[in-house]
Structures are given as structure tokens and as C-alpha cells.
Amino acid sequence: MTNANTSPFKKLKAKILALVTAALLMIGIIAIISNIMLSSQIEKYQQLIAIENNAVAQIGALNLQFKTQVQEWKNVLLRGHQTEDRETYWDRFVHQHRMVQQLATDILSLQLTPEIETTVREFRQIHASLLTKYEAGKQAFINTNFDHKKADSTVRGIDRAPSKALKTLVEQIQNQLNDKNNALEWQANQSQWLSILAIFIAIVVSIMFANLYVNKTVIKPIVALIRHLEAVAQGNFNAPVVANREDEIAEMSAAIQVLSDKLRDE
């Protein structure tokens, strides 16, 4: 007969369900924490991409504007025989010069490594010194009766240093992007493997704990009941039964004890 006064929280079913729920809850918490960690890595990666793409875009714009400035100088030489045309193209050249300087200043406000920042400052300094040299070239163009070859010879090669600095800058920003990308990828992989390891450990611990719990609270008492029944079957009615329990096994023990007492009294 089942004891109606037995608390539902003391029944084996409730205990086992609580054990399974606790194990699943622990694994779920670990999975949530792992997901948060991976989400954090993804967010950092997205922020990195945004910052680096902005830097790459501005450096690309800087390179383009510098090339446009050089082209405006060629327009001065090729189309500047008339004063009005010459001054128009020269104004464009000066405007491009100022734009390149401003872009270089804007790039310095970004999150850059000291190495890249040094390269940007070097480019800006070299580029700033070009204007006076191009002004001398313009005057030579006028003094030589608009001989563009002689005028151009006075500034030949001066754009190589800033062009080289720009090339170095592009390589540096790409290397920085690759280094940060590799670092974040390593961190993401590490977080993923740590998460897998943590979940695996949680599963193993849950299985071990469940095995110990079931073995202690279910298997051993049932084996004890079987031994008691075997003893009763052999005429030993004084064998001890499972005690100090308030679950289904205790009810089974009480029923077997009642049976043993009846057989002994017959």
C-alpha cells in the first residue's frame, strides 16, 4: 500500500527529475555564458572591421587626392599657357594640396598603432614641403616661356617620397588588420573550445553525480530489498530491512516487513 502522507518532494521520481533538471540547468547556464563570450568576440570583430575599414577608406581617399593633385600640376603645365587658365589649374592644385593635408590630419585622429601614426606624420611633413617646390616649378614655367619640360624638370621625382610613404601606409594598415583579425580569431577559437570543454565537463560531472546518486539512493536499497526477500524465502524472517527513508523504497520495505511478520507469525 502506498503511503499517502509521503511528501511528493521525497519521492524518487521527484528526486530524479530534480537531479536531471539541475544537470540540464547547469549545462544550459554554461551554454549561455559561452554564447555571451562568443557574441562578445563577434562584436569586437565587427568593431575592428568598422574601424579598420574607416582607416582603409580614408587612406584610399588620401592616395586618390594626392594623385589628383599631381594631375592638376600636369594640367598647369599642359594647359597653363594663358594666365587665366594657368591660375585656374594652379588654384585647383593648391586646393588639392590643402585637402590632402586635411585628410592626413583626420587620419591621425583614428585609433592607429605608433608605427602607422609615424608614417602618416612623415607623409604629411613631406607633402607639406612640396608646395614651395611646385611654386618654384610654376615660376620656372613662366620664366622659360611656358616650357613644360624645363618646368617639370625642377620638380621631377619629388612626389616619389610621399608616394612611397602612402604605399608603406597601406601595407601597415593591412598588416595591422591582419594581426588583429588573427588575434580575435584565436580568441574566438579559444572561447569556443573552452565552451565545448566546459560543457563536456559539465556533462561528465552530471553523469558521474547522477550515477553516484542513483546507485546510493536506488540501486543499493533495491539490492538490499532483494537480499531481504531472498532471506525471507529461505525462512529468515529477522533480516533487517531498509530504514530511514520516506520514499517508494521505504514503502516497499514496509510492505516486505509486513509480509515477513505475517509469515513469521503463521
> What pLDDT does 240 receive?
67
Residue 200 near residue 35 (C-beta atoms within 8 A): no
- pTM of the predicted structure, to 2 decimals: 0.59
pLDDT digits (tens, 9 = 90+) for 72-112: 999 999 998 999 999 999 999 999 999 999 999 998 888 77
Please determine, for residue 60, whether its predicted confidence score (pLDDT) is greater than 90. Answer: no
Class of domain 33-196: mainly alpha
> What pLDDT does 244 receive?
67
Distance (Å, whole) CA 114 – CA 86: 41
- What band does 130 get if pLDDT is binned at 50, 70 and 90? very high
The mean per-residue pLDDT over the stretch 66-71 comes to 93
Distance (Å, whole) CA 70 – CA 80: 15
Please determine, for residue 177, whether its predicted confidence score (pLDDT) is greater than 80. Answer: no
> What pLDDT does 257 receive?
78
The mean per-residue pLDDT over the stretch 244-256 comes to 76
| Burial class for 132, CB neighbours closer than 10 Å (0-12, 13-18, 19+) | exposed
The mean per-residue pLDDT over the stretch 119-137 comes to 93
- The upper half-sphere exposure of residue 211, i.e. CA atoms within 13 Å in the direction of its Cβ, equals 6
Distance (Å, whole) CA 249 – CA 235: 22
pLDDT digits (tens, 9 = 90+) for 3-51: 444 455 457 677 778 778 888 888 888 888 877 877 777 777 777 777 7
> What pLDDT does 116 receive?
86
Amino acid at 74: K
> What pLDDT does 2 receive?
42
* Grid cell at residue 142: 613662366
> What pLDDT does 243 receive?
58
> What pLDDT does 6 receive?
47
Please determine, for residue 191, whether its predicted confidence score (pLDDT) is greater than 70. Answer: yes
- Position with higher pLDDT, 36 vs 71: 71
Task: Transcribe 189-243 into DSSP letters.
Answer: HHHHHHHHHHHHHHHHHHHHHHHHHHIIIIIHHHHHHHHHHHHHHTT-TT-----
DSSP 145: T
The mean per-residue pLDDT over the stretch 140-152 comes to 91
Distance (Å, whole) CA 95 – CA 97: 5
The mean per-residue pLDDT over the stretch 222-238 comes to 80
Give me the chain's average pLDDT, please: 83
- Position with higher pLDDT, 6 vs 192: 192
- What band does 242 get if pLDDT is binned at 50, 70 and 90? low
Domain with CATH 1.20.120.230 in the chain: 33-196
